[in-house]
Amino acid sequence: MEKLINEFIAILDNEDKDKAILFIHKLLEESVSIIDIYEHFLIPALANYECNSEHEEICIWKEHTRTSIVRTILESTYPYLIKAKKAKNIDKFVVVACPQEEYHEIGAIISSNYFYLMGYKVKYIGANTPSFEIKSAIEIMKPDYLALSITNYYNLIQTKKLLEDIQNNHQNVKIILGGQAVMKYAKKSQIPHDFILNSLEDIKKFRGDENETRL
């Protein structure tokens, strides 16, 4: 597996979109699981990326290019996600979003897919979602959970008021947070939340704890 992972990373480093997509599809056709693709190829490809340029503007567009390739892979491999779903559906609905000014959406997309695999009804409403649109989605769709993915620390601060409003006006909606900013600063920022989930294992445990509570 390590050799394949290194080969994939080299393809991404060369920014060869077509080759990267075909490489992942070939692995899936050879029975590598979609979860292994996420956990060992796609997530580390972004989380462990280090730009080798001294110029910030170059690093920014290189990261965006890499992210775009990974997003295309996520979209093109969705049929494999459908085939992989084995968990029994549970009567719980999760709305997933990135708050206003948060453009890093890969974590949110992957989280949405993991919730789907675990049997939840899921609706991903996008990156950079204005607060009024998130509140509108809650009003109309009435989810059990709102899951927000936050990478930028400043977005954590700006989202605090939104979550306070949700806690005050939608007590039935539980708030799930995830993302790099949440991992580092959620406790310090005192941002309202009910759960912090940052991995597939977190979501699996969350589903198990929830089912035990419902029995």
Domain's final residue, options 53, 84, 115:
84
For 191, the token pair is 């941002």
Q: What is the domain-level CATH number for residue 106?
A: 3.40.50.280
Confidence of residue 209 (pLDDT cuts 50, 70, 90): low
Distance CA(50)–CA(53), nearest Å, equals 9
Q: pLDDT tens digits for 132-174?
A: 999 999 999 999 999 999 999 889 888 999 999 999 999 999 9
- Asked whether residue 114 falls in the same domain as residue 184, the answer is yes
Domain's final residue, options 58, 84, 110:
84
pLDDT (0 to 100) of residue 210: 56
Instruction: Tell me the whole-structure pTM to 2 decimals.
Output: 0.91
Q: Dihedral sign for Cα 188, 191, 194, 197, please.
A: negative
- Asked whether residue 123 falls in the same domain as residue 162, the answer is yes
Calculate mean pLDDT across residues 123-135: 96
- Asked whether residue 197 falls in the same domain as residue 103, the answer is yes
- Asked whether residue 24 falls in the same domain as residue 97, the answer is no
- Asked whether residue 118 falls in the same domain as residue 197, the answer is yes
- Asked whether residue 62 falls in the same domain as residue 106, the answer is no
- Asked whether residue 80 falls in the same domain as residue 98, the answer is no
Helix (H, G, I), strand (E, B) or coil at 93: strand
* Per-residue pLDDT at 191 exceeds 60: yes
Parent domain of 117: 93-205
Overall domain count for the chain: 2
| Cβ atoms < 10 Å from Cβ of 205 | 12
